[in-house]
Chain A
Amino acid sequence: MTKEMIEHIRNNPKYQMLVKKRSRFAWTLSIIMLVVYYAFILTIAFDPQLLGTPLGEGKVTTVGIPVGIAIIIIAFALTGVYVKRANSEFDDLSREVKAELEKELAKDAS
């Protein structure tokens, strides 16, 4: 990558928007996943009986079962949310940045 290309891309407002939006989105989702997982793990470490509470009077199924299944579903759902936005909005932006770069490089060359 030439100095010139770097300069063009760095100053492209669409590139700046892409980087800002995507990193905020990626870190937000990562933090959600970490908070959910460590909340679960720390509950097990400090208060395991909470997860062992039966779901209802005379029931055997405990709170821990739906909670565990929910974490699996959350993990899957979060990846779906990310892929959906990244494969449309972010990829479009990225394509536009590339197209504009080519245009500017052609203009510089002429």
Chain B
Amino acid sequence: MNKLLLLTLSSLTLFAGGAIEGEVQRQPLNVSAIIMFLVFVAATLGITYWAAKRTKTAKDFYTAGGGITGFQNGLAIAGDFMSAASFLGISGLVYLKGYDGLIYSIGFLVGWPIILFLVAERLRNLGKYTFADVASFRLKQTPIRTLAAFGSIATVTLYLIAQMVGSGKLIQILFGLPYELAVILVGVLMILYVTFGGMLATTWVQIIKAGLLLSGATFMAIAVMAHFGFSFEALFAKAVEVHPSHNAIMSPGGLVSDPISAISLGIALMFGTAGLPHILMRFFTVADAKEARKSVFYATGFIGYFYVLTFIIGFGAVVMVMTNPQYLDAAGKIIGGNNMAAIHLSHAVGGNFFLGFISAVAFATILAVVSGLTLAGASAISHDLYANVFRRGRVDEVQEMRISKIATIVMGIVAILLGIAFEKQNIAFMVGLAFAIAASANFPVLFLSMFWKKLTTRGAVIGGSLGLATAVMLVILGPIVWQQILGFKEAIFPYKYPALFSVTVAFVGIWFFSITDKSEDAQKEQEAFEAQDIRSQTGIGAEGAVSH
């Protein structure tokens, strides 16, 4: 069972957990991969230069001036979601366990329609730069923004560490570069993109990468299907024949073992997605609610299509990688671990050149995702903490921009240092924790601020903090940290996904401390709901969304 837990998490955590853990073997320098990667870097730096000339105001920096179209934003959101974790992790999970990989993909996808129906357009109509704008719309700025900024920075930092460590190890394997150099390279490039090009450069880097990744994965999936005369039955039949688990790979295999874990995982994936600051921020880059809706439609389409591709790629790897001694070590295990299944398959279907292409795309994927994360973290520091909490909104734009650039550089350096510090640590819990915090602190406050009239500052601050504390505590007491990292015999909290409990605590806490809040301020906050609701429903008064 433990093995299964680890495996599940490894797909969530960008190969931080299972396969690429601890020491990894450096591969010989891969020249075609490096050349293609350099081409990508040169192109994206060119875009950054172009974007820098167009990034003059704070609005440009945080939201690309609100001028991204729904289609472009859809691709960028899909790009944020199609991280190296999804591509390599889920195809690796399919390679190892078959059907279970699909269960994971579906969990990641189904949050999107809900975000569209309930959150996307209200968010666009109420917010300016960060989701804290929305949460603090009619509540007290200082406490709400502090809480939201804290939730954002915690989520972003945990996610960044996992990405940095994953990228260092991946680059070590793919390109044969030393770990520290890889981490520094990623950090420096992301600082350049974000500091100079702001959201415009970050978005276009993400769009280009999404295009490359979708094309590469499409080519691989078609190559696999062509091999089997485009018959799924033939592909599955061969996979079942060669896979050591045989028929078991065609049915659910214990990824989700009990109803509590199942529901808890579902809640973490669904509400966590709706509480990730770098994803929420993307809704402010489009002109109005109409474009915001379109972006989710395109994003859901691209993400869904991508998950179907990874499923085919995983099965393709079972047939073409598992049976080929070229990709296996002396013990018959896949070289580099299960998360390398897609990489080896790229060699099997397209030779050295295509292997180089896919490796370069995997590196580009990491760069694009960490840039979005850093921008979201820097915005929480400069827009929420500095401009609105520390200076109480009395700050000019030039100064706020300057702070956001300094914050970007600091976040980048911190990410590099933490990436190096955590090289040999077990970081399997980090993305899970990031999702848990997003679902239990960010999401409940954001959601209730838009939907519940009776929400008060006191309720939001106490309930949100309780959710945050519960999520952190249950992860520490759970099987991953308590048992596997701290080495205790039995976990105090038996489930590895705390979301069901911590999200409940947050909602109940917010409800209770709001309805018992009889202060004068609370009454004013409740009275202000109507004006907020009208704006969220119609866009009247919203930034850049007014037609006259």
Using a CB–CB distance below 8 Å, which chain A residues touch chain B? 1, 5-6, 9-10, 15, 18-19, 22, 26-27, 29-30, 33-34, 36-38, 40-42, 44-46, 48-49, 51-52, 54, 59-62, 64-65, 68-69, 71-73, 75-76, 78-80, 82-83, 86-87, 91, 94-95, 97-98, 101-102
Contacts and interface: CB of A to CB of B under 8 A. Distances in A.
B116 interface: yes
Interface string B238-277: 0010000001001111111111011101100010000000
Given A64-B252, A72-B304, A82-B116, 7 more contacts: A15-B537, A27-B117, A33-B110, A44-B256, A51-B99, A59-B233, A65-B232
Contact of A48 (B252, B293, B307, B541): B252
A71 B266 CA distance: 14
B251 A15 contact: no
B236 A61 contact: yes
Specify the main secondary structure of chain A where it touches its partner.
helix
Interface residues of B, number: 59
B31 interface: no
B237 A60 contact: yes
B232 A61 contact: yes
A42 B247 CA distance: 22
Nearest to B294: A83
Nearest to B546: A98
Interface of B: 99, 102-103, 105-107, 109-110, 112-114, 116-118, 121, 232-233, 236-237, 240, 247, 250-259, 261-263, 265-266, 270, 289-290, 293-294, 296-297, 300-301, 304, 307-308, 530-531, 534-535, 537-541, 547-548
B530 A86 contact: no
Contacts of B293: 82-83, 86-87
Given A41-B256, A72-B308, A83 B297 contact: yes
B445 to A, nearest CB: 19
A19 B537 contact: yes
Contact of A68 (B102, B121, B263): B102
B113 A78 contact: yes
6 contacts: A33-B117, A41-B265, A42-B259, A65-B236, A75-B110, A79-B300
A86 B295 CA distance: 13
Specify the main secondary structure of chain B where it touches its partner.
helix
Nearest to B257: A45
Nearest to B233: A61
A49 B251 CA distance: 7
A46 B233 contact: no
Contacts of B304: 72-73, 75-76
Contacts of B540: 1, 5, 9, 98, 101
A69 B107 CA distance: 13
- The 8 A-B residue pairs with the shortest CB-CB distance in the complex, in nearest-first order: A52-B251, A48-B252, A26-B117, A72-B304, A45-B262, A1-B531, A62-B250, A68-B102
B252 A51 contact: yes
B308 A69 contact: yes
Contacts of A19: 537
Contacts of B236: 60-61, 65
B256 to A, nearest CB: 5
Nearest to B100: A44
Contacts of A101: 540
A9 B534 contact: yes
Contacts of A22: 537
A30 B113 contact: yes
A75 B112 contact: yes
A37 to B, nearest CB: 5
Contacts of B547: 95, 98
A94 to B, nearest CB: 5
Contacts of B262: 41-42, 44-45
Contacts of B261: 45
B91 to A, nearest CB: 15
Contacts of B290: 86-87, 91
B454 to A, nearest CB: 18
A95 B266 CA distance: 37
